[in-house]
Amino acid sequence: MRPRTTGAALVALSLLLTPGTAAHAAPGRTADGVPRAVERVARQTLPAGDGWASEGPGTTGGAAAGPDQVHLVRSRADLVRALGGDNATNKSNATPKVIVVDGVVDGFAADDGGLRGCADLADPEYSLPAYLAAYDPAVWGMVPPTGPLEAARVRSVANQTRQTQINVGPNTTIVGRRGAVLTGLTLMIDGASNVIVRNLTFDDARDCFPAWSPTDGATGNWNSQYDQVSVRRSEHVWVDHNTFTDGDNPDSAQPVYFGRPYQVHDGSLDITHTASLVTVSYNRFVGRDKLMLIGSSNTVGPDVGRLKVTLHHNLFDRVLQRLPRVRFGQVDVYNNWYRLAGDDFAYAIGVGVQSAAYVENNYFTLGVGIAPADLLYDWGGTAVTTRGNWVDADRALPRPVDLVAAYNATHDPDLGGDAGWTPALRAPQAVPAPLVPLVVGPFAGAGRLPL
């Protein structure tokens, strides 16, 4: 049995030495041009005991891929071919495969390499100016849009989905070489269990055709469709050492229509629709609004007993909400660094319907105007376990914080402090919260693996 690590240096060493399938170790390159040293890292599997995705058979991704299923990709067309050849049916391709991304892959790229824009994907009967004129609440009222222009928007969304939603099948590993970027696309892991995604930067998964939802909130909201990574109806998924960002197209730069920001981005990593047994480790989430939705509906039904997710050693850097927002699931949140700032910050951990989050040994660095009482938000839940967390705020010395007590002191109704379970799958073990920045800062995000 491998020793469990407790210090920053040993954690770093373990990242480099994580065991994995290392077949085809001859010198040189694979038939598709992947260096053998890169292939060895790309075939790594989730270590035993590392979060919910390690339960049972664990998560191996494409480690069993044959020599002809180790692919080097440099374009959207390459990526679709490596995943099986047809984006519409790739989600059912269960052949074990390892995909190594080299460079920038743009979801808006046509097969001939040219870039398509939003205008190229728009239905002929859709235009944003016409949509704004037709559904202005002063004209249309505060009811959902209907009619030809809304139908044209929906057709436009279908066009974009075919272009920028990349469907991933079971038994797949996708890893990036240093500097690899997936921009303008969604990795859709839907009904595709045993998937590993590592060492990639996800950039600007923008929606060309956001929907106006006048009944969302008191004054309505614009809502977009595309996550950077979406996990649905899948088990045994490991998302590790990635960076999630909006790049040079932040939400703060979008215009305001109908008095609300024109929201062109959705989540970074949403885990919904009965997905379960997911480990999210050593990722960096930078400058985004909505990050991670675990459970998409308050309806009591198929999600009960599902949505089991572990989040450890992630950096949440200047992000605003859903860090994560949880419904139903037993979600283990430990040893993450929350570096929070900005006037638009909403909350960190959302306690939703029948949620059971266990929040332990996290470190919260809080900017001006953010208090410990702001870190939890009650979305219809009743209890959350919080232990060993620390806060660094108000230019005072870092100190332990009882997140439930801080929340209850300023909010009604109170949240209970016992989520009803104790995590068992923790390798590496939790380190004390004051050490978390030393471990997470240098090692979270893309570009940290030897690829």
What is the Cα–Cα distance from 101 to 350, expressed in whole angstroms?
A: 34
What is the Cα–Cα distance from 144 to 158, expressed in whole angstroms?
A: 19
| Strand order across the beta sheet in which 363-366 lies | 104-106, 181-183, 201-203, 243-245, 284-286, 315-317, 337-340, 363-366, 390-392, 399-400
Q: How far is CA 211 from CA 146, 153, 208, 215, in A?
A: 11, 8, 10, 12
What is the Cα–Cα distance from 391 to 446, expressed in whole angstroms?
A: 26
pLDDT at res. 3: 39
Beta pairing, strands 256-257 & 260-261: antiparallel
B/e letters for 401-438, b = 16+ CB within 10 Å, e = fewer, are bebbebbbeeeeeebeeebeeebebbbbebbebebbbb
What is the Cα–Cα distance from 28 to 38, expressed in whole angstroms?
A: 10
Q: Which two tokens stand for residue 136?
A: 């202005």
pLDDT at res. 27: 67
pLDDT at res. 6: 41
Q: Is 322 a catalytic residue?
A: yes
pLDDT at res. 395: 85
Per-residue tens of pLDDT for the chain, all 451 residues:
333 344 444 444 444 334 343 434 446 999 999 999 999 999 999 999 999 999 999 999 999 999 999 999 999 999 999 999 999 999 999 999 999 999 999 999 998 889 999 999 999 999 999 999 999 999 999 999 999 999 999 999 999 999 999 999 999 999 999 999 999 999 999 999 999 999 999 999 999 999 999 999 899 999 999 999 999 999 999 999 999 999 999 988 999 999 999 999 999 999 999 999 999 999 999 999 999 999 999 999 999 999 999 999 999 999 999 999 999 999 999 999 999 999 999 999 999 999 999 999 999 999 999 999 999 999 999 999 999 999 999 888 999 999 999 999 999 999 999 999 999 999 989 999 999 999 999 999 999 999 9
Residues 129, 131, 133, 136, CA torsion sign:
negative
Beta pairing, strands 349-352 & 356-360: unpaired
What is the Cα–Cα distance from 219 to 206, expressed in whole angstroms?
A: 23
Q: Which amino acid is at 31?
A: A
Residues 6+ apart with CB under 8 A from 429: 4, 5, 6
Task: Report the DSSP beta bridge partners of residue 390.
Answer: 363, 400
What is the Cα–Cα distance from 240 to 445, expressed in whole angstroms?
A: 8
Check 322, 325, 339, 426 and give the catalytic one.
322
Collapse the DSSP code of 115 into the 3-class scheme (helix H, G, I; strand E, B; otherwise coil) and give the result: strand
